[in-house]
Structure 1
Amino acid sequence: MHSHNYRTPEPLQDQVVVLIGSSASAVDISRDIATVAKEVHIAARSVEEDKLGKVPGHENMWLHSMIDSVHEDGTVVFQDGNAVGADFIIHCTGYKYDFPFLETNGEVTVDDNRVGPLYKHVFPPALAPWLSFVGLPWKVAPFSLFELQSKWIAGILSNRIALPSKEEMAKDVDAFYSSLEASGTPKRYTHNMGILQWDYNNWIADQCGVPSIEEWRRQMYIATSKNRVLRPESYRDEWDDDDLVLQAQQDFANYLT
């Protein structure tokens, strides 16, 4: 995988910044930059036409369709026809899976950001249980999901939990890939879970014999997603989830008794 180490250039007061991407990290970075830059322009792949234009709550931030072309003089032309002269372009486009250290003789490949074939995003059928992956799913609440994956792997390696046969795992993977294709889901979204993560978490929890994910965790995730749409300028600072916080505190108290 590769990621971007972000540091605000100094000074930015007279600079025009273009960000590519509109997910959570891009929202946070654009808000931060907008406090010091002259203009911030966000290029988003999936955005409704009526959302294009000035971002509510900001006088110097605009939302555009994806970039059509970039020119040597710094001009950035968007697919919506607008153009700006950019001083900086920041890629907030996510991650690419890459395992240059891993040699599997073709049993595991990365194809259009799909790591596979993997049973439940973890075990390659031909090499299970001796090779496993933790942390591939994205658009998830990561820590609880990755903890469950780790418990499942540990249970299998200690012979407390049994995997299906290699043939059964391969059939499950094929069925999963076929369902993605039938629904029109691009291959690069194979590990994109979103709301499906809760069923996935609870399936692994059942395999491990541990309690399912608490309902307040799921509701907090949904509330955060809605809050980011309703309050793009302050979604990390303003909340209406006191009841969920109270449920979480009550659950945490159980660990201390």
Structure 2
Amino acid sequence: MDDNRVGPLYKHIFPPSLAPALSFVGLPWKAEPFPMFELQSKWIAGVLSNRIALPSQQEMMEDVKAFYSSLEASGTPKHYTHDISPYKFGYEDWLAAQCGCPVFEEWRKQMFVAAIQNLIKRQETYRNEWDDHHLVLQAHEDFRKCTLKGIGVMDKRYRMLS
């Protein structure tokens, strides 16, 4: 570790010289932790089970060097290496694609942004005042669809067993 930079790490997870034997979950910050942990863990599991192939060690190192160069070019200090806020959604979408998972719904992304904006705008009362009711309604509708879909699947399985 050098000035809070753990690395070199390919995609904040695999050290190229030790991959896939060693991996890290949860280093990136300024993200919704648990959904990101899940995607990172699924990617690692896919790599360890040989369902997902990593690039060669050299290709991973080139990717890491390019990433570090982009941080330097943008003036990002080394200790912000794992701050993924500027590219959080792209990172999560990339992980989801690698794992064959659907990307997060748009309302989830908008809700994350709204929560951050609310925190900045209302530092004293951000837990009590919200402007995201339309996103909450979208979330409820999405969960309702998933629940109904799940009930239909369970009902179908039950009928097959009867």
Within 5 Å, give how 1:1-257 maps onto structure 2.
110-256=1-147, 257=149
Give SS of 1:240's match: coil
> TM-score normalized by structure 2?
0.88
Pair 249,152 (structure 1): closer, same or farther in 2 beyond 3 Å: same
Give SS of 1:192's match: coil
Separation (CA, whole Å) in 2 of partners of 1:232 and 1:208: 37
Pair 195,175 (structure 1): closer, same or farther in 2 beyond 3 Å: closer
- Give the CA deviation at 1:158: 0.7
> TM-score normalized by structure 1?
0.56
In proportion to residue count, which structure has more helix?
Answer: 2
In proportion to residue count, which structure has more strand?
Answer: 1
- Give the CA deviation at 1:143: 1.0
Give SS of 2:6's match: strand
- Give the CA deviation at 1:253: 2.4
Percentage identity across aligned positions? Answer: 66
1:211-240 residue CA offsets vs partner (Å, 9 max, x unmatched):
011111111111111111221110011111
Separation (CA, whole Å) in 1 of partners of 2:104 and 2:111: 12
User: For structure 2, which runs of at least 5 residues remain unmatched after alignment?
Assistant: 150-162
Separation (CA, whole Å) in 1 of partners of 2:66 and 2:86: 20
- Give the CA deviation at 1:255: 3.0
Q: Specify the code of the residue in structure 1 equivalent to 2:50.
A: N
1:115-169 residue CA offsets vs partner (Å, 9 max, x unmatched):
0000000000000011000000111111111110000000111111111111100
CA RMSD for the aligned pairs? Answer: 1.0
**Higher RCO (Cα < 8 Å, 6 or more apart):** 2
Separation (CA, whole Å) in 2 of partners of 1:168 and 1:230: 42
Separation (CA, whole Å) in 2 of partners of 1:131 and 1:229: 37
Separation (CA, whole Å) in 2 of partners of 1:249 and 1:222: 18
Q: Specify the code of the residue in structure 2 equivalent to 1:131.
A: L
Separation (CA, whole Å) in 2 of partners of 1:219 and 1:182: 28
- Give the CA deviation at 1:184: 0.7
